[in-house]
Amino acid sequence: MNIHHHTIAIHFVHTILRSAEKLGLDRNKLLQSANLDEQLIHKPDIRITPIQFSRLMQAMWIYADDEFLGMAKQPVKYGVFTLMAKQAVHYQRLRSVYRHLTNFYNLINDALNLQFTVDGEQVKFVMTLDTPHRDDEHALREFLLLLFHRFPSWVIGQRIPLKKIQLDYPKPAHFAEYRLMYPCRAEFNQSYCGFSFHRSWLDAEVVRTPRELRDYMRRAPLDWFLRQEYHAVYTQRVALMLEQATDPAAITMEQVAAKLHVTSRTLRRKLTSEGASFQNIKDNIRRDQAINLLSNRKTAVSQISRKLGYSEPAAFSRAFKQWTGMSPKEYRG
């Protein structure tokens, strides 16, 4: 999925808000910081933009003065990650970045323990929380694993291909979101949280500069959520073709199949084997584009309707309500 169009499940908003309430923070103030409506977030199928979620996360960091979101036994003051990152960009290789990251967090906080080991051709990055019961919805573990993969990837200018990610909790109800988060298979009910990748990546050169880091941190945490979905091969190819089309709604399966040099029957079978369908891929793309366009209140619903290929706003409203459970106007509040 195009990084500018994918959306984020409302589940992650609720995990932050519940933690904020435990800390006695003003819920409405957090929602206002992210341009989110109280009524909107109670719709279970609603999705928000990465920009909205990053604003919510940043507001939580600032108001709680805790980059661990109140989900660990000891807070980590807002700005600690920036301090670690400022040192990381001066190393030459990815190996040194991971060593620095591991040593840094082990030194400054005993709520989290990190281990970085090389075993044959495999690198293992392991993370354990001292009080995992405080992270009862697994949100902190999900976020930190995301961060500890994506920031080092940014530092070397390439996405580190993970072999697998291991989690010390059962498969969650929002597991479908993991395709947006981790580019590998996930194993649950393990004895620890962590991920692994091939050791050859440890020799990758650090290519980012302190100046680039300043821009990166001004955007943080937005860049950590602006990532592609990691689809199976045919699902990804179909999604890419639809996203690149001027009018995705008008594209047929036969047209896509012809470009992929397969029959429509073969394409349908391939997508089914990957747990997808042509219509669902098309609907998800239009849904995510609609949510992103609706987040700009200056754009009229009628304009969005035309842009997404609907003959009239009423047809778009019906489709949007089917996707999210509410009309475009209700979504905007």
**C-alpha closest to that of 293 among 313, 311, 275:** 313
What is the per-residue pLDDT for 219? Answer: 84
The low-confidence residues of the chain, meaning pLDDT below 70, are 1-5, 227-232, 333
Question: What is the 3-state secondary structure of the chain?
Answer: CCCCCCCEECHHHHHHHHHHHHCCCCHHHHHHHCCCCCCHHHCCCCEECHHHHHHHHHHHHHHHCCCCCCCCCCCCCCCHHHHHHHHHCCCCEHHHHHHHHHHHHHHHCCCEEEEEEEECCEEEEEEEECCHHHHCCCHHHHHHHHHHHHHHHHHHCCCCCEEEEECCCCCCCCHHHHHHHCCCEEECCCCCEEEEEEHHHHHCECCCCHHHHHHHHHHCCHHHHCCCCCCCHHHHHHHHHHHHCCCHHHCCHHHHHHHCCCCHHHHHHHHHHCCCCHHHHHHHHHHHHHHHHHCCCCCCHHHHHHHCCCCCHHHHHHHHHHHHCCCHHHHHC
CATH hierarchy code of domain 233-332: 1.10.10.60
Tokens 């507001």 label which residue? 59
d(CA 227, CA 208): 19
Alpha-carbon torsion (78, 196, 100, 215), positive or negative: negative
Radius of gyration of the chain (CA): 21
Task: Name the residue with tokens 């929002």.
Answer: 174
Distance of CA 81 to the CA centre of its chain: 18
Rama region for 267: left / alpha / beta (φ>0; ψ in -120 to 50; rest) = alpha
The pLDDT assigned to 3 comes to: 41
Angstrom distances, CA of residue 76 to CA of 62, 71, 111, 239, 281: 11, 10, 9, 39, 40
For residue 327, the model assigns a pLDDT of 85
Every domain of the chain with CATH number 1.10.10.60 lies at: 233-332
